[in-house]
Structure formats: structure tokens, C-alpha cells
Amino acid sequence: MKAIPGALSAWLVQRLSALYMLLFTFYALGAWLLARPTGYDAWRAWALAPPMRLPGLLFSAALFAHAWVGLRDVLLDYVHPVPLRLGALGLVAAALALTAFGLAPLLFAP
Amino acid sequence: MKFLVYRFVPGRDARPRMQRYEVALEPRDRMLLDALERIRATQDDSLAFRRSCREGVCGSDGMNINGRNGLACITPLAGLREPVALRPLPGFPVIRDLVVDMTRFFEQYRSIKPYVIDDAPPERERLQSPEERGRLDGLYECILCACCSGFCPSYWWNPDRFLGPATLLQALRFIADSRDRATAERLDHLNDVYRLFRCRGIMNCTEVCPKNLNPARAIEQIKLHMSKMLI
């Protein structure tokens, strides 16, 4: 496979991440219906067990990638002055990074 | 029948205004263009609008009719809510009244090289199978009236950089042509965050196309052609 050139890469990331999130939603719903965890400890154990952990991590990565491409698109559409756009893109990147930083202890819990 | 028509001459008028007309139609006045001609002939010969073939082929009389873009010559007067509000194509610079400046639109059309490119032409004619010819159906019929581009919010926000649905539909017409040898170059030209990828797929273009074409689907097909080039 060749390197994905230009703007197509962002479009593919958006479409593929959306597809993965849709499939994960069905998978997680099915897994939840089978396990039916009750209480915080049971939920935590269910979410951190191997059948959910890696798919859940990939879901988080897909969510962040999807959010980045979507918000970047909104800014490209509507914010035309370059300094303002760069500032807004920086704010979006910082917000996503902070959210990921906040989620990391949960996602990578032992 | 009552009409409210956008009137504006840039450089002369301070701001646009909506002028009210009430015109007595004759039995043979069946389409909106007939009514506009009637207004111009009987009430106000200063009213400016474009027209040519008067049968939905030339694409000259694209305008916003009661909030929706369409061709005046194939829009039946029966069924139009009164007063019929007529405005120029949204997002296009106004030259006068309902006449808009299409210069940028046609520059964008030229930018996609709207002709078959084949540096090594055959000895005789370029043959096409019926299936190959069939891939052009739904594309070649576009008359470049700009009703779709003038109804596309992505084109309103970025008219100088997004090519818009009409031009992109025309781009696919040549990408899909089996006789063309410049597919890779065409796709490479379109692989740009602005030229193609400002489309959000809201399908206003498909909704208003007076020729019942589907520019939104054409844009998705261009993206699929690009994706296939990767494999």
C-alpha cells in the first residue's frame, strides 16, 4: 500500500474511525448484555477485562481521531484568518490532549 | 399573479430591495420565465435576468425561486406560492437584479480540464463499450446552470477554494471516461483539503438539481476513486 497522500488521509481517518466506533458500540452492547455488571467494581472489572480492554482502547483512539478531523473541518470551513485559525486549532488540540491525559489512568489502569 | 423581485444595481443602488409586481398573465404563460418576460414587456423593461433556450437546456435562467434554486423556464407557475419571491443565485456576486457573475464558476470549471486527455490518440476513433459509455450517464447531462453550487453552504463559505458540486460532477465525468488517460493527474489535483474535501455531504445539490442529477453521489465517487488508487 502506498502512503496516503493529501486530504484523502483525513477523510479516510474520519470514515474508518466512524465505522470502528459503530461496530464497537454493537460489540460493547452485546458484551454488556451478556455480562450485565452491577456496581462500580463489576463495571470496572468488565471494562478492564481482555475482551473489552484493547477494543476499548482502540475506541478511545478512534474517538480522538474522529473528533480532531471533525473539529479541524469546522475550523477550516468557518475560520478564515490564518492566525485565528491556528490559535483555534491549537486550543482544540490542547483540549483533546488534556482529555486524553485525564482518561489515561482509567484506560491504562492495572 | 404577484411577484417580489430582487432589484439591485451595484454602484448605483445603496442596497438591494425587493420590488413588488402584479401581472395579468395570458393563457400561454405557463412557466415562470413567461411571467418574467410578461413583466418586462408590460411593466418594467429595466428588470434584468438571463435567458436563452427557454426549455431547460442552456442553464441561463438559474435563480432562487421562493427560497429554492431552479430554472425559471421549467418551473411551472401553477403551484408557486404567492407572492413569488425571486432572488439571484445565493453566494454569487450580483451584476444586476437576477443576473449574477459566473466568472469564478467557469474558471473553476476550466481548472478541472473538462475535455478528454489522451496524449497518444489512436489511428481511428476511440472505441467505448456500452458499459463504459454507461458510466457517463448521470454526469454528462449537467448543463452548468449552477443551481447546485448556489445552494451549497460549503460553496457559500469557501467559494474561492472549494470547487462546488457542479464542477466536481463534471470532474467525475472525465475521471469516469474510459477514453481519458489522465485519471491519476485529475485525482491528484482534486486531492486537496479545499477543492474537494469541503463537501459535508448535506445533499442540497442533489435536492435542487433541475436535471435530477446527483452531484453529492459524484463527489463520494471521486473519493472512492481516490481510495481505490491506494490499493
Residue of A nearest to B156 (CA): A77
Nearest to A6 among B154, B158, B192 (CB): B192
pLDDT the model gives residue A1: 41
pLDDT the model gives residue B91: 95
- pLDDT bracket for residue A24 (50, 70, 90): very high
The answer for B 148-187 residues in CB contact with A (under 8 A) is: 154, 157-158
Q: β-strands B84-87, B2-7: how paired?
A: parallel
Mean pLDDT of all residues in A59-72: 94
Contact B158 A77 (CB under 8 A): yes
pLDDT the model gives residue A23: 98
Place of cell 393563457: B27
Residue of A nearest to B158 (CA): A77
Q: Count Cα neighbours of B94 within 13 Å in the Cβ-side half-sphere.
A: 22
Contact B86, B75 (CB under 8 A): no
- Within 8 A of A6 by CB-CB distance, chain B residues are 188, 191-193
- All structural domains of chain B, each given as residue ranges with its CATH number in brackets, are 2-100 (3.10.20.30), 103-230 (1.10.1060.10)
Q: Is the complex ipTM more than 0.85? A: no
- Residue B220 sits at φ, ψ, to 5 deg, of -65, -35
Per-residue exposure over B47-60, b if at least 16 CB sit within 10 Å of its own CB, e if not:
bbbbbeebebebbb
Contact A4 B192 (CB under 8 A): no
Return the domain boundaries, chain A: 8-107
User: Sign of the C-alpha dihedral, residues B165, B168, B174, B178?
Assistant: negative
Distance to chain B for A6, nearest Cα, Å: 6
SS (H, E, C) B115-139: CCCCCCCCCCCCCCCHHHHHCCCCC
d(CA B171, CA B185): 12
Cell of A103: 482518561
Output DSSP code: residue B9.
-
Q: A100: part of which helix (H) or strand (E)?
A: helix A82-107
d(CA A75, CA A80): 8
Q: Count Cα neighbours of B11 within 13 Å in the Cβ-side half-sphere.
A: 4
Task: Pick A8-107's CATH classification: 1.10.1030.10, 1.20.1740.10, 1.20.1300.10, 1.20.1440.230.
Answer: 1.20.1300.10
For B58-73, the pLDDT digits (tens) are 999 999 999 999 999 9
Contacts for B119 with CB less than 8 Å, ≥ 6 apart: B181
Contact B20, B6 (CB under 8 A): no
pLDDT the model gives residue B122: 85
Residue A2 has pLDDT above 60, yes or no: no
Other C-beta atoms closer than 10 Å to the C-beta of A69 total 18
Contact A7 B193 (CB under 8 A): yes
d(CA A52, CA A37): 13
Residue A4 has pLDDT above 90, yes or no: no
Cell of B215: 452531484
Contact B230 A76 (CB under 8 A): no
What type of residue is B107? E
- The reply to whether B128 touches chain A by the CB within 8 Å rule is no
d(CA B35, CA B4): 12
pLDDT the model gives residue A101: 87
d(CA B204, CA B31): 23
For A73-87, the pLDDT digits (tens) are 999 999 999 999 999
Contact B174, B116 (CB under 8 A): yes
Nearest to B230 among A1, A73, A78 (CB): A1
Ranges of residues in chain B whose predicted pLDDT is under 50: none
Q: Which residue has the higher pLDDT, B158 or A109?
A: B158
Q: β-strands B62-65, B2-7: how paired?
A: unpaired
pLDDT the model gives residue B230: 82
pLDDT the model gives residue A5: 65
Q: A50: part of which helix (H) or strand (E)?
A: helix A50-78
